[in-house]
Amino acid sequence: AQSVTQLDSHVSVSEGTPVLLRCNYSSSYSPSLFWYVQHPNKGLQLLLKYTSAATLVKGINGFEAEFKKSETSFHLTKPSAHMSDAAEYFCVVSDSGSGNTGKLIFGQGTTLQVKP
Amino acid sequence: DVKVTQSSRYLVKRTGEKVFLECVQDMDHENMFWYRQDPGLGLRLIYFSYDVKMKEKGDIPEGYSVSREKKERFSLILESASTNQTSMYLCASSDTGLTSNEKLFFGSGTQLSVL
């Protein structure tokens, strides 16, 4: 069965410093992995998606994530945080493969705080 | 832009009441989903639908039912609300195809409080 674990429930950075949100996954198949972002009082939005092409995936708003099979990780990074990046971030794995439905399995979420 | 609209942003109900949460999408998407979001638990799938009048149970369907009489509308029903159903409820839609399910468009959510 597929699962995903976000290693930090809360991350706090200063504006202009790098962001690292950590995610580990468990999957019996070649996984599809995603990061979604939820800004306050707004719906979740797809940030980026990995589907077995390039291991370094670039998303919107300067975010990127690197798929590392040996470490079963899919950490989200950004070189320089902006105040508008403050939000909740979800790492997600799809259970597609071997006849599964492509259902999304969400991590517990990481709240990113950006201090001025 | 795809728009997924949930009828209420905040809702307060009493234990035992029947509660309807409504969701409408305007992009002719085949697939619609209901999740609940709780702190520390992420999003958990309650029910989903791949077609009109079709429904499938998600991971936590107990205490809930759904209705999809029209393609654009997907309703979540709490037959007899209980305090443990206090949560943020998120509706989502996506286009057809196995991998298309992976890009979901979400509504802004309904924060339901059951007293």
Q: What secondary structure does DSSP assign to A38-57, as a single string?
A: E-TTS-EEEEEEE-SS-SEE
What pLDDT score was predicted for residue A53? 73
pLDDT digits (tens, 9 = 90+) for A76-86: 999 999 999 99
| Closest partner CB to B108 (pick from A42, A90, A96) | A42
CA distance B32 to B41: 21
What pLDDT score was predicted for residue A96? 62
pLDDT band at B96 (very low <50, low <70, confident <90, very high): low
Enumerate the residues of chain B whose CB falls inside 8 A of the CB of residue A103.
45, 48, 58, 101
pLDDT band at A104 (very low <50, low <70, confident <90, very high): confident
What pLDDT score was predicted for residue B97? 60
- The pLDDT mean for chain A works out to 89
**Which residue shows structure tokens 């105040």?**
A83
Instruction: Determine which of B4, B50, B88, B102 to mutate to test the interface with A (most A C-beta atoms within 10 Å).
Output: B102
Neighbours of B41 (CB within 10 A): 14
pLDDT digits (tens, 9 = 90+) for B8-53: 999 999 999 999 999 999 988 888 999 999 988 999 999 999 889 8
- pLDDT of residue A100 exceeding 90: no
What pLDDT score was predicted for residue A98? 47
What pLDDT score was predicted for residue B113? 97
- pLDDT of residue A15 exceeding 90: yes
What pLDDT score was predicted for residue A99? 47
At CA B45, angle to CA B42 and CA B49, rounded to 5?
150
pLDDT band at A43 (very low <50, low <70, confident <90, very high): confident
Enumerate the residues of chain A whose CB falls inside 8 A of the CB of residue B105.
43
Enumerate the residues of chain B whose CB falls inside 8 A of the CB of residue A41.
108
Number of H helices, E strands in chain A: 0, 12
Interface of B with A (CB under 8 A): 4, 35, 40-45, 48, 58, 90, 92, 98-99, 101-109
pLDDT band at B86 (very low <50, low <70, confident <90, very high): very high
For residue A36, which phi and psi values (nearest 5 degrees)?
Answer: -115, 150
State mean pLDDT over A22-30.
Answer: 86
Cβ–Cβ < 8 Å for B112, B19: yes
- pLDDT of residue B98 exceeding 60: no
Task: Calculate the alpha carbon distances from B69 to A5, A52, B3, B52, B111 in Å.
Answer: 36, 37, 19, 6, 24
- pLDDT of residue A61 exceeding 60: yes
Give B97 or A31, the one with higher predicted confidence. Answer: A31
What pLDDT score was predicted for residue B37? 95
Of the candidates B9, B38, B25, the one whose C-alpha atom is nearest the C-alpha of residue B71 is B25
- The pLDDT mean for chain B works out to 91
